[in-house]
């Protein structure tokens, strides 16, 4: 027979497991429609479309948007309903945050 203490531990472990699964599905992402290529979901670690690596799209007043200072060779850009921190040389999305 399972003791109340063991049952409590098993219940807690199951809830932690479900919580981590639901958190994983909440990873920030943006859905992009690309002509000729269809729909693609992009997230942190993915390469941003080329146009977001251009200086003309960089958010210069990032502090007014409550964003952290971009590092060297990085810039914040707006992609749909998110702000994305882009590493310019590689095009990698370092961080995605919701617009506030």
* pLDDT value of residue 45: 94
* pLDDT value of residue 14: 52
pTM comes to 0.68
Task: List per-residue pLDDT tens for the chain, 100 residues long.
Answer: 566 655 444 454 555 554 444 444 467 777 767 677 677 788 999 999 888 888 899 999 999 999 999 999 999 999 989 999 999 999 999 999 998 7
Report the alpha-carbon distance of residue 12 to residue 5 in Å, rounded. 11
* pLDDT value of residue 43: 93
Domains of the chain: 4-98 (3.10.450.160)
Judge whether 84 and 74 are in contact, CB under 8 Å. no
C-alpha closest to that of 47 among 32, 62, 63: 32
Report the alpha-carbon distance of residue 23 to residue 44 in Å, rounded. 15
């Amino acid at each position: 027979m399972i003791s109340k203490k063991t049952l409590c531990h098993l219940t807690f472990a199951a809830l932690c497991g479900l919580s981590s699964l639901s958190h994983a599905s909440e990873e920030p992402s943006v859905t992009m429609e690309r002509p000729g290529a269809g729909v693609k979901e992009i997230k942190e670690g993915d390469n941003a479309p080329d146009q977001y690596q251009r200086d003309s799209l960089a958010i210069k007043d990032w502090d007014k948007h409550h964003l952290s200072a971009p590092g060297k060779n990085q810039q914040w850009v707006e992609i749909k309903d998110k702000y994305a921190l882009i590493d310019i040389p590689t095009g990698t999305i370092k961080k995605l945050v919701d617009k506030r």
